[in-house]
Amino acid sequence: MIPGALRRFRSWNNSRNASLILMYHRIDDPPIDPWNLCVTPANFAGQMEWLDQSGLACPLAAVRGNAGKIAVTFDDGYADNLYSAKPVLAKEGIPATVFVVIGAVGTNGFWWDELEQILLHSPSLPASGLTLQIDGDQIRCQLDEQDLRFTPERLAESKAWIAWRDSPPTTRHSTFRALWEKLRELPHEVRARHLATIREWANSADQRTKFRPMNADELVSLAAGGLVEIGAHTVTHSRLSALSPEQQQQEVSQSRRWLIDHTGQAVRSFSFPFGGASDYSAATVDWVRSAGYARACTTAGHAVNPSSDPYQLPRIHVPNLPADQFSAWISQQFEPGSSAQTP
């Protein structure tokens, strides 16, 4: 953006009575991205360079009531947040908050990535169907014969498919989405048992490395220097509204205590897993407040205004856009009534 355009943008933007919280997950360029969670390293670098030049970046703690400002956040705690995102943030001087699922720290990966790996990346899957008993329902998954074998070329044909937006192009994709929708409703231990059954059916070893979360040492490295705030994203990334009150309290409070112990940071920010209005309750918000957090983020896709509840701050899912398109997209998010699509 040229200097004159930047000045005009700042002048226009400061007249808006709103601010933005951007939501990222992974900085990567995978073969497919069914939940639209990835921004490529090149596009992320361009976006952060634009944000630096705009002078609009601010910490999450300062965004509410600070008209025209923009905060950067990440969910989950992927290792690429350290290796691909932090160097760019440091180069441009952009503060960010990374919300970490503590139960995933040091593991091979998140359950949704393993489900993707099994169903969408496996070269071959059994002709025999898969039957699961989930919450009293019998879930029968049967792949069409032409979908039993998948080459990289066949996978590439569905690169643009987004699970929450598009119709499934194959029975592998429909099975993936149906199982994801069921598994997200379950407590961690129950979900893990079903995932083990799926793994056994597919004869798939649990060996995911590319999409792995950070380990404990990497988390400490991410927090070092103070540019990146570490926030809590629960213990198991379970849908809080589907848990008992006692389980919700444990997810909220234990994640904060663990992060304080392991990073030395105060840990004042929280992010609701999945983050939709039905994914937590008013009681959940009360537990977040009483656990010692100062703010909490949702995935509601619109701008923050001075009256926004600090414990239900809306965030906007960032699409994989180059810097020139990112600038125009940012302007749209400040418009009254605008609402970005969120996975």
- Whether the CB-CB separation of 73 and 23 falls below 8 Å is answered with yes
Name the DSSP class of 119: I
Q: Where are the domains of the chain?
A: 3-107+213-333, 111-202
Name the DSSP class of 123: S
* Range scoring the smallest mean pLDDT among 143-157, 214-228, 247-261: 143-157
Query: Which of the following CATH numbers is that of domain 3-107+213-333: 3.40.50.720, 3.40.50.920, 3.20.20.370, 3.30.420.270?
Result: 3.20.20.370
Query: Given pLDDT bands bounded at 50, 70 and 90, which one contains residue 197?
Result: very high
| Phi, psi (deg, nearest 5) at residue 301 | -90, 65
Q: Over 60: is that where the pLDDT of 3 sits? A: no
Give pLDDT, residue 16.
62
Q: How far apart are CA 236 and CA 214, in angstroms?
A: 15
Give 14-57 pLDDT, tens digit per residue. Answer: 546 799 999 999 999 999 999 999 999 999 999 999 999 999 99
Give pLDDT, residue 338.
59
Of 338, 240, 340, 260, nearest to 18 (Cα)?
338
- Whether the CB-CB separation of 233 and 99 falls below 8 Å is answered with yes
Q: Over 60: is that where the pLDDT of 108 sits? A: yes
Query: Which residue in this structure is represented by tokens 């701050």?
Result: 313
Percent of the chain with pLDDT over 90: 80
pTM, entire model: 0.93
Give pLDDT, residue 2.
44
Which position has the higher pLDDT, 152 or 253?
253
